[in-house]
Amino acid sequence: MHSMKNEELIALYFDGKLNANQKTLFDKLMSTDAEFRAQIEFEKQTKTAIISIKKDDLKRKLQQLEAPKKRFNYYAIVIAASLIIALGIFSLLQPTERFSNEQLFAEYFQPYANVIVPASRGDEHTNTKTEAFAYYDAHNYKVASEKFHTLFNTTNTSYYLFYEAICELQLGNTQIAINLFEQHKGFEDKLATHRNWYLALAYLKSDNIKDAKVLLQTITAKKSYKYKAADAILKKIK
């Protein structure tokens, strides 16, 4: 591996503190020593990755500042409910069959089953994990989401992200759900194909037809989870 001297040089480089001589040496190594160059490249990627993680954290935080209003705005719910009723009456008067993205979402979305901690297991031992899934099974998605969030932060286990996203989708916080699914992409666990299906539905709900189509096409092409339903949706949004 590298000599201590090279390591110090790299450390100074990342600090932006190379003096003229060190800079000359650094440049020389970069152009002549492939191993040195690869090391710098890897450390740069690491720096980029860390910045990206920190930004994701802040992004979630800021989005959560926006989220509560959407969840608890009573008047908005009343207005939305009246609109739904009005639209319902309106749609009865419409002779042609047309699907809105929202309708398609409602038709196809179903929270994914709890495959992690089945409730039937007669295990009295309750920890945060079983608790989170118990809330999930009981359709208390708000509390479940918070628990999954904490669990992911403490264990870095990717399926918690997936379930947190499903909760947010269920709660109507589509954008938050999309971001969580996007984050889940970094893990490629066994739920990857399931995630694609739910992410496609989330895109659909947020009227992002372009991304929804791309994902649905991937699902049908690979015949992965829910490919028949994906095909049916594709025909309807054409």
Partner 1 sequence: MNKEPTLEDLLKDKDNAFELLYKNYKGDFIAFGRKFSLKDNEIVDIYQDSFLSLYENLLNGKITAFTSSIKTYLFSIGKFKIYEHLRAHSKLNIIDAPINEEITLEDLTLENEVLSEREQLVKANFKKLGKQCQRILELFYLKGNTLKDIKEIENYDKTDVVKSLKSRCLKKLKHLVNA
Q: What is the smallest separation between the CB atom of 32 and partner 1, expressed in angstroms? A: 22
* Near partner 1 by CB under 8 A: residue from 23, 27, 49, 81: 49
Which stretch in 40-48, 139-147, 201-209, 223-231 sits in contact with partner 1 by CB under 8 A?
40-48
For 99, the token pair is 């699907």
Find the binder of partner 1 among 28, 59, 142, 223 (CB under 8 A): 59
65 lies in the binding site for partner 1 (CB under 8 A): yes
Closest contact distance (angstroms) between CB of 228 and partner 1 is: 30
Give one DSSP letter per residue of 77-120, joined into a string: HHHHHHHHHHHHHHHHH--S----HHHHHHHH--PPP--SS-TT
Q: Retrieve residue 106's tokens.
A: 């409602």
Alpha carbons 10 and 18: distance in angstroms, whole number: 9
Stretch that binds partner 1, among 38-46, 81-89, 205-213, 215-223 (CB under 8 A): 38-46
79 sits near partner 1 (criterion: CB under 8 A): no
CA–CA gap between residue 165 and residue 176 (Å, rounded) = 7
In whole angstroms, give the CA distance from residue 44 to residue 27. 16
Distance CA 103, CA 133 (A): 28
Position 231 contacts partner 1 (CB under 8 A): no
Based on the shown chain and the rule CB under 8 A, indicate whether residue 50 belongs to the binding site for partner 1: yes
